[in-house]
């Protein structure tokens, strides 16, 4: 699966109230964020599986995922407002 599709799917799971819009929205900026989210989420999963755990890296990637989610929500709101 491509990073774009993986990131979009992961965000749809993380942001279920916005799932429909995530799949309908078309934006190069969103595509870039979908790819970034896929990489960050996959890296986070890998660090969570590692032993011993590197809590500093886990916190860093959790924060990265949350930041990307916030950026995606901002763009979705702009697209939603423009479409109304």
8-61 pLDDT tens trace? 999 999 999 999 999 999 999 999 999 999 999 999 999 999 888 899 999 999
CA distances from 45 to 5, 12, 53, 72 (A): 17, 17, 11, 20
Q: How many helices (H) and strands (E) does the chain have?
A: 4, 0
How confident is the model at residue 84, as a pLDDT?
61
- The residues, any chain, with a CB within 8 Å of residue 54's CB and separated by 6 or more, are 47
pLDDT at position 1, please? Answer: 76
pLDDT of 82 above 90: no
Q: Is the dihedral of CA 37, 39, 40, 42 positive or negative?
A: positive
Within 13 A of 51's CA, how many CA atoms are on the CB side? 0
Using the predicted structure, report yes or no on whether residue 83 has a pLDDT greater than 80.
no
pTM score, whole prediction: 0.92
Residue spans of the domains in the chain: they are: 3-83
């Amino acid at each position: 699966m491509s990073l774009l599709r993986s990131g979009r799917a992961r965000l749809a799971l993380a942001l279920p109230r916005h799932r429909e819009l995530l799949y309908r929205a078309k934006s190069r900026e969103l595509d870039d964020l979908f790819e970034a989210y896929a990489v960050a989420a996959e890296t986070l999963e890998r660090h969570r599986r590692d032993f011993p755990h590197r809590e500093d890296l886990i916190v860093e990637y959790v924060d990265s995922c949350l930041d990307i989610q916030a950026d995606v929500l901002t763009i979705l709101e702009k697209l939603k407002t423009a479409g109304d």
